[in-house]
Amino acid sequence: MAKYVVPTVLLLVAVAGWGVWRWTPATFAIRNESGKPIRVLMVDVAGKTLQYNDIPAGGTAAGSFHVKQEETLSVRGWFADGTAFGEHCGYVVREEFAPHISVAVRNDVAISSP
């Protein structure tokens, strides 16, 4: 009976580790470095659109998502003056553990950084 204890414990640790890896979300932070307020910011990721409103100059919008497969992150929106912006900003693969995507919105472009 004792010879099964070690393999059983190793199996339980492996399953627990896989569960943590699988369910730990990816995160993103979108920084408004444009010098003007953002009226509406929409983040498209993992088949969902997240909307943030009234982000001041220098402000940040943040969120999380679960990576089920290869995912893209796109940012689009409108400044308070009505000017639109948008950009495809990130690419995340399932094999990466809890990735974090940082994006800076500057005037009319969103720029991704690692």
Residue 113 has pLDDT above 50, yes or no: no
Q: What is the pLDDT of residue 61?
A: 96
CATH no. of 25-113? 2.60.40.2890
Which distant-in-sequence residues (6+ apart) come within 8 Å of 68 by Cβ?
46, 94
Q: Is the pTM of this model over 0.95?
A: no
Domain positions in the chain are 25-113
65-94 pLDDT tens trace: 887 777 788 999 999 998 889 888 776 665
Secondary structure (H, E, C), 55-108: ECCCCEEEEEECCCCCEEEEEEEEECCCCEEEEEEEEECCCCCCCEEEEEEECC
